[in-house]
A and B are shown apart, each in its own frame.
Chain A
Amino acid sequence: MDAAMTTDTQQPTARPSRTMPMAAPAVTSTSAAAAPTRIRLEHINAFYGQKQALFDVNLDIPDNTVTAFIGASGCGKSTLLRCLNRMNDTIPGAHVDGAIRMDGTDINSPEIDPVQVRTRIGMVFQKPNPFPMSIYDNIAYGPRTHKLYGSKADLDELVERSLRRAALWDEVKDRLNKSGLGLSGGQQQRLVIARTLAVSPAVILMDEPCSALDPIATAHIEALIDQLREHTCIVIVTHSMAQAARVSQRTAFFHMGKLIESGSTDQIFTMPKLDQTQDYITGRFG
């Protein structure tokens, strides 16, 4: 945690709210000298059919930082995560209003091809989901789909580099042709992370990546997340308050589809501005 992160300045909280005028604007603190913003969320409203799942969410997600989304089940944190790589597009009846700006482009705009978005923004799911194919083919899937390599040697090199970055190479280098399903749960999750890294995403979304893993495997993944932050922007949804405190530098707290408070993880966990956040952090509800 760098010193700049902890010196927060209060941003103007009154943001124009077009779609949901009654929604209270979130209390947001941002660091003056923090990493540059990678993704800016503007007035995100998400719907599943008639049911509104997110209400006017505004949030800046900085680069080279782990941002944690916390909140009780059904608070909308996973929905917001799935907005970022347009995964909600695959759900019939779901639609998302508002702008998601990445490098100046609104990736939520209908003109933008979601497939292009997903090559820039990778995703790791709650349950490890390696494809039923060899470890090598799992990693090579993305590069092959997007033709990211020239020769077979290039691909070999890319597979090795991805597995090394996911801290899995030493464990699997002698069994690259064996099925990915033969690995342990923690290894499978690192395999899936390596698979995502192979297409060099600028952002990696993680939806409760450790909830199906034991504590040792969880420690491996958390250490890995910290290393990956150097080159990517990471957004992680977690139910574990301890995990949010351990791995993230920024935290956003959601309740009933609204962003209640966001800021540096230190500030959210030690001196939250709102009682509601305080209550959740200390386990009084949720």
Chain B
Amino acid sequence: MKQLTAATRARYFRRQLVDRIMGGLCIAAAGVGLILLALILWMLFSNGLGGLTLDVFTRPMSQPGSGGGLANAIVGSLLQVGVGAMIGAPLGMMVGVYLSEVGKGSRFASVVRFVNDILLSAPSVLIGLFVYQIAVLPFGGFSGIAGSIALALIAMPIVARTTEDILRLVPQAYRDGAIALGSRENEVVRKVVLPAAFGGILTGVLLAVARIAGETAPLLFTSLGNDVWSTDMTQPMASLPMAIVRYSNTPYPEWVSLAWTGAMLITVGVLVLNIASRFSYAAVAGKQGG
């Protein structure tokens, strides 16, 4: 350090200072996010844990004062999200495979990618209204299946996008190796590329499920919500988000408390899905890499 000229030293200290400021800003930004998340969780748990009883899981919604639960909303959410994911995830995966493997640089693929990006950022209430037009009005009423279709339309572009991104990360060397062994295009995709990307695609699907589990707006005009126990997908169906909307705007303290509990359940569910997606990815990657 002794040999450094004054100018060099000044430049060195300035660089060090800028480095520290930038690093500090990044840490501060991350801190803001973490603190907000912690506050949200704190608020949810402090308000929601009190209402968490066995009744929440075993009894359907009922009149204030008669000790109702959220069982119909929980089951309704599971059904609609499950069916929605079963429709949306395979479609999204196929779109992703088309974009990354089949269409690649084609003009049609870039159009599909563009449209998919629009769908990805479309307001979810618009999706709800669209499904209202095609699956509620023609069939004469709100239904659980209409809710599932709306959720599928939200999940599909997410899964398509993550599938394409993950497939692009699969080294070209795997494809070349499979082609050189005399594989046809569909065999390359089915036997080598998709298995190699399985962990990442599964993560994308789980994140899409987590996303649609909390959606409210698309259900507003499709499955509507239902105060009584029903597992009939052709009828209006309860869901946790709709139950929260309905209960939180009431003067009854037990209903408001149930709304908090419902919000907490969704959040915990999404959290568990996110953590599960991490583990599933690590597990698959661990199995493939020795």
Interface residues of A (CB under 8 A from B): 85, 87, 90, 92, 115-116, 118-119, 122-123, 125, 127, 129-133, 141-142, 145-146, 178-183, 192, 195-196, 199
How distant is the Cα of A90 from the Cα of B182 in the complex, in angstroms? Answer: 12
Tell me, rounded to whole Å, the shortest Cβ–Cβ distance linking A140 to chain B: 11
How distant is the Cα of A199 from the Cα of B183 in the complex, in angstroms? 12
When each residue 192-209 of chain B gets 1 if its CB lies under 8 Å from chain A and 0 otherwise, what string results? 100110000000000000
Further pairs besides A129-B173, A142-B181: 15, Cβ < 8 Å: A87-B176, A115-B182, A118-B179, A125-B177, A131-B174, A131-B178, A131-B192, A132-B196, A133-B288, A145-B187, A145-B191, A179-B287, A179-B288, A192-B177, A195-B181
In the assembled complex, 6 residue pairs joining A and B whose CB atoms fall closer than 8 Å, in A order, are: A87-B176, A116-B182, A119-B181, A125-B176, A129-B171, A181-B288
Smallest beta-carbon distance B196→chain A, Å? 5
Asked if B176 and A142 make an inter-chain contact with CB atoms under 8 angstroms apart, the answer reads no
Residue of A nearest to B289 (CB): A181
Question: Is B54 an interface position by the 8 A CB rule?
Answer: no
Q: Is B290 an interface residue (CB 8 A)?
A: yes
B11 within 8 A of A: no
Determine the distance from Cα of A180 to Cα of B89 in the docked complex, in whole angstroms.
30
User: Closest approach, in angstroms, between the C-beta of B54 and any C-beta of chain A?
Assistant: 45
Instruction: Indicate whether A131 sits within 8 Å of B182 (C-beta atoms), given known contacts A92-B105, A145-B187, A145-B191.
Output: no
Return the chain A residue nearest B187 by Cβ.
Answer: A145
In angstroms, Cα B178 to Cα A22, docked, is: 39
User: Are A87 and B180 closer than 8 Å at their CB atoms?
Assistant: yes
Task: Judge if B14 is at the interface, Cβ distance under 8 Å.
Answer: no
Tell me how far the C-beta of B16 lies from the nearest C-beta in chain A, rounded to whole angstroms: 39
Known: A145-B187, A179-B289. A129 touches B181 (CB 8 A): no
Chain B hits for A116, CB < 8 A: 182
Q: In the complex, how many angstroms separate the beta carbon of B194 from the nearest chain A beta carbon?
A: 11
Asked if B20 is at the interface of the complex by the 8 Å CB criterion, the answer is no
Determine if B184 is an interface residue (Cβ-Cβ < 8 Å): yes
Determine how close the nearest CB of chain B comes to the CB of A101; give it in whole angstroms.
20
Chain B residues with CB below 8 A from A142, complex form: 181-182
Closest A residue, CB atoms, query B195: A133
Query: Measured between alpha carbons, how far is A66 from B244 in the docked complex, in Å?
Result: 74
Interface size of B by CB at 8 A reads 22
Q: Closest Cβ of chain B: how far from A181's Cβ, in Å?
A: 5
Among B171, B173, B181: residue with most chain A CB under 10 A? B181
- Bound together, the chains give a CA A76 to CA B182 distance in angstroms of 24
In the assembled complex, the CB of B30 is this many whole angstroms from the nearest CB of chain A, namely: 33
Q: Which 5 A-B pairs give the minimum distances between C-beta atoms?
A: A182-B290, A119-B182, A132-B288, A179-B290, A129-B173
**A178 to B195 CA separation, bound complex (whole angstroms):** 16
CB contacts under 8 Å to A, within B195-243, are 195-196
A-chain residues with CB within 8 Å of residue B180 when the two chains form the complex? 85, 87, 118, 122-123, 125, 196
Whether B179 and A181, one on each chain, are in contact in the complex, defined by CB atoms closer than 8 angstroms, is no
Nearest CB of chain B from residue A239's CB, rounded to whole Å: 19
> B290 to A180, Cβ gap below 8 A?
yes
CA distance A132 to B284 in the complex (A): 10
Chain B residue nearest in CB terms to A130: B177
Q: Are B290 and A196 in contact (CB under 8 A)?
A: no
Kindly list chain B residues whose C-beta atoms are within 8 Å of the C-beta of A131: 174, 177-178, 192, 196
A26 CA to B28 CA, complexed, in Å: 69
Residues of A within 8 A of B184 (CB): 115
The interface residues of chain A lying within 8 Å CB-to-CB of B196 are: 131-132
Min CB distance A158 to B, Å, is 14
Q: How far in angstroms is the closest Cβ of chain B from A270? A: 34
Instruction: Report the separation of the CA atoms of residues A281 and B10 in the bound assembly, to the nearest whole angstrom.
Output: 54
- A-chain residues with CB within 8 Å of residue B179 when the two chains form the complex: 87, 90, 118
Assess the A132–B105 pair: CB atoms within 8 A: no
Nearest A residue to B177, CB-CB: A129
Chain B residues, CB < 8 A from A92: 105
A contact residues around B192 at 8 Å (CB): 131, 141
1/0 per residue, CB under 8 A from A, across B259-290: the answer is 00000000000000000000000000001111
A143: nearest chain-B partner, CB-CB: B181
* Residues in chain B near residue A133, CB distance under 8 A: 195, 288
Q: Which residues 35-51 of B sit at the A interface, judged by CB distance below 8 A? A: none
Which B residues are CB-close (under 8 A) to A85? 180
Please, how many angstroms separate the alpha-carbon atoms of A123 and B192 in the complex? 17
CB of B143 to closest CB in A, whole Å = 43
- Tell me the smallest distance from the CB of B135 to a CB of chain A, in Å: 41
Chain B residue numbers with a CB within 8 Å of A199 are: 181-182
Residues A118 and B182 in contact in the complex (CB < 8 Å), given A129-B171, A181-B290 = yes
CB-contacts of B158-178 with A (<8 A):
171, 173-174, 176-178
Contact (A125, B191) CB under 8 Å given A118-B180, A132-B196, A181-B289? no
Chain A min CB distance to B181 (Å): 5
A10 to chain B, nearest CB (A): 36
Q: Mark B74-110, 1 if CB is under 8 A from A, else 0.
A: 0000000000000000000000000000000100000
